[in-house]
Amino acid sequence: MPGTNLTRDEAQQRAALLSVDSYEIDLDLSGAQGGGTSRSSEAEGGGGTYRSVTTVRFDVAENGATSFIDLVAPTVHEVTLNGDALDPAEVFADSRIALPGLLEGRNILRVVADCAYTNTGEGLHRFVDPVDEQAYLYTQFEVPDARRVFASFEQPDLKATFQFTVKAPSGWTVISNSPTPEPKDDVWVFEPTPRISTYITALIVGPYHSVHSVYEKDGQSVPLGIYCRPSLAEYLDSDAIFEVTRQGFDWFQEKFDYAYPFEKYDQLFVPEFNAGAMENAGAVTIRDQYVFRSKVTDAAYEVRAETILHELAHMWFGDLVTMEWWNDLWLNESFATYTSIACQADAPGSRWPHSWTTFANSMKTWAYRQDQLPSTHPIMAEIRDLDDVLVNFDGITYAKGASVLKQLVAYVGQDEFFRGVQAYFKAHAFGNTRLSDLLGALEETSGRDLKAWSKAWLETAGINVLRPEIETDEHGVITSFAIRQEAPALPTGAKGEPTLRPHRIAVGLYELDDDSGKLVRDERVELDVDGELTAVPQLVGKRRPAVVLLNDDDLSYAKVRLDEQSLAFVTEHLGDFESSLPRALCWASAWDMTRDAELATRDYLSLVLSGIGKESDIGVVQSLHRQVKLAIELYADPTAREALLTRWTDATLAHLRAAEAASDHQLAWARAFAATARTPEQLDLLEALLEGTQTIEGLAVDTELRWSFVQRLAAVGRYDEAEIAGEYERDKTAAGERHAATARASRPTPEAKAEAWSQVVESDELPNAVQEAVIGGFVQTDQRDLLAPYTDKYFEVVKSIWDSRSHEIAQQIAVGLYPAVQVSTDTLHKTDTWLTTAEPNAALRRLVSESRSGVERALRAQAADAAAPSE
């Protein structure tokens, strides 16, 4: 949106001038219920706007200075500064209220405005549940959206206390950062918060269902609450959620040596949430897809637990102590990611002690992909303004940063790391910091100079590749062993230079055990790798093992390659590794080689089919399902694609029939089969399973699995509106609405595509979650010819959409509708022409350039697959 940006220079100038004491925010949400089930951008029955009154007290360093406060609102009625009325028409423009003639010392500002409910997941989101026709509200303020609800100095280093007073419809509940008070005449008056940043304040309002408990230990008592919509209450497994939460409280308070810093801890599962969750102080909001309506695999519970722990870690790192500016966003997110995984791995009683396997398999794969895009950047990214930060919630910020933190822990020592963190929390509680504050604390506790480490790992972009170089004699005895480090050229358009970095890694030597048939580690050598070539004399004179695995135990952040002999053995025995982590590392290496056109897609498929049946980790299995489908559809030689899809789909059906009844693997294979079912016989089976005329022992074709089948049948033209509408009647819920929208958009007809395009591009009425569902159905990889006309249409509209829609809505469209399935030089040419002539801003340019990079990579992979010998 025009006028909503804020530069770092402006924020620094404002922080130098102002210190904020308190906000009093009075909101009248009594009309929020409105007139029914409207899902448009303007809710019915007066629900489009609400009255917002903000009183803010702040101190000014310079008499007569001028500054501004942020506000995104349709109407400003009153602006009163130090008792003087200012004309809103003169001082309110471009989402800012000018504050002229400030007084040295204390100033008081009062702003009365009408703010707007949203359906985009930004600001105060309003959702109407089709089950009970009740409205449900929640706020989402990160990065700059508190200003959509109240006038605020919208930057993280201007902390203050916040007191909310909310008038709500009778019978509703209001939850905020402070403990929930008893309402009087439907007015809820909350106690002021501690000093926190604007972006972690929160309000959740509506007739929510709740379950309550208490965390108690050593005299400490913290009220716990879990909330969701009543229509989801029957699925809310609150005991499991409380169990993970208590494990987190125990582990974090011990490691941080700092008691939980807020008065209560609520977790609220809210509808149409754009992210996984948000760390509002004491009132964490979580996407309500984590309230599972149907059977899911254990991997889904593991991901939910990591999300719960990630947000809990933020209560200390992010909320108690907050970065000064968004250039340290990576540290905030990386710390929460690292500690949440470490908690899962180490907390007594955890269900997921192998969480580092999941991290290697999913998070690091995300990081490696992000680090090879033209938008790659140092972990410490240059954040010039809010536009920069809005697109910087990426794989480098979360996953690469967490990987490097893991490496830092190994470098300084775990005990020393957490002692430094403890000192950091005590020194900066309820304040703001920079990276140097944390590194300084770690230098104190570890005795290590971290300046060189920081420069090499945090201030450079790109990824290193490690390869073993092994020589043996005629008896198979190692005569020379070295590790070669490469720093590939950064992608075109990326800033910086390739960098060789210091790595602390382990080398694992694996042999096949004759008794068990498992690949077991015979020996492990840990060493520092630095420079282009590092000798490993410890391995000279040893017999060459079946498999040599670099970066065993996943200590460092680097792409790893297997030598030719190890790769050949792993191709036959990947599923035989005794431990899950080396399996995950080899799977990840094979996938990366496929993406880098070093391994043909047909050979990757053969590798997966040879080992996936022995893979016990369900999260790895599901990742392989997604990766194989993507590889065949985008990276395979187009002339071989159908044969490879047939081979894969036949395998998914065979694994489905062979899987243990009612197991996680059976469910995962059912979903994989449904995703590519193609022959008349396979599609007949999907229909029969839906109708109940055929069954597979143990497979419960429940609500979510039914939708998977329906969506595939719609995409191949078997199901049309009547069947989709009938399925929606079975599941007349918000989730059902989204699934039906996906199914309708996936139909293989020009009319269905035109309708979906119109809903998303030509109208702005779809809520964020429904728009995402429509886009997901619109883009079908086996409908390339049908989608071809939309390439030109995309480039005609994407800039105007970016300029006119909210960030979340515009980003969904810019990324989701990019013609990624049109893998051709023509797509590259049209993208380049648009990048040259359209003059997009930096954020939009980045997103389109990233999508272009995917097409370029796919072309290279297709060429490699076409050149590979057929089996």
Active site residue 474: no
Q: What is the CA radius of gyration of the chain?
A: 28
Please count the CA atoms within 13 angstroms of the CA of 728 that sit on its side-chain side: 17
**Helices 734-746 and 750-757, axial angle in degrees (round to 10):** 130
SS3 content of the chain, % helix, strand, coil (to 5): 45, 20, 35
Neighbouring CB atoms inside 10 A of 455's CB total: 14
Separation of alpha carbons 63 and 50, rounded Å: 35
Name the region of 94 (left: φ>0; alpha: ψ -120 to 50; beta: rest).
left
Report the length, in residues, of the chain: 871
Choose the catalytic residue: 311, 416, 633, 727: 311
CA 419 → CA 254, 402, 412, 443, 697, distances in Å?
11, 18, 11, 11, 53
Q: Which residues pair with 483 in a beta bridge?
A: 468, 534
By DSSP bridging, strand 432-433 and strand 322-323 are parallel
Quote the tokens at residue 430: 């309820």
The gap between the terminal CA atoms of the chain, to the nearest Å, is: 54
d(CA 200, CA 317): 12
Cα separations (Å) of 165 from 54, 550, 668? 10, 58, 47
Burial (Cβ within 10 Å: 0-12, 13-18, ≥19) of residue 330: buried
123-128 sheet: strands from edge to edge: 123-128, 135-140, 203-206, 173-176
With beta carbons less than 8 A apart as the criterion, state whether 659 and 651 touch.
no
- The closest of 512, 647, 622, 522 to 573, measured between CA atoms, is 512
Q: Are 563 and 336 in contact (CB under 8 A)?
A: no
- For residues 315 and 279, is the Cβ–Cβ distance under 8 A? yes
Instruction: Please say whether the beta carbons of 706 and 666 come within 8 A.
Output: no
C-beta of residue 81 within 8 angstroms of C-beta of residue 66: no
Sign, Cα dihedral of 262, 268, 272, 275: positive
Q: How far apart are CA 502 and CA 522, in angstroms?
A: 26
Q: CA 283, CA 464: separation in Å to the nearest integer?
A: 40
At which residue do the structure tokens 């958009």 appear?
A: 745
Range list of H helices, 596-695 = 601-611, 618-630, 641-658, 664-676, 680-691
d(CA 318, CA 329): 9
The CA distance from 256 to 246, in Å, is 15
CB 123 within 8 A of CB 139: yes
Q: Look at residues 398, 445, 440 and name the one whose alpha carbon lies nearest to residue 417.
A: 445
Residues 6+ apart with CB under 8 A from 100: 66, 86, 91
* Residue 112 and residue 84 in contact, taking contact as beta carbons nearer than 8 Å: no
- Catalytic residue numbers read 311
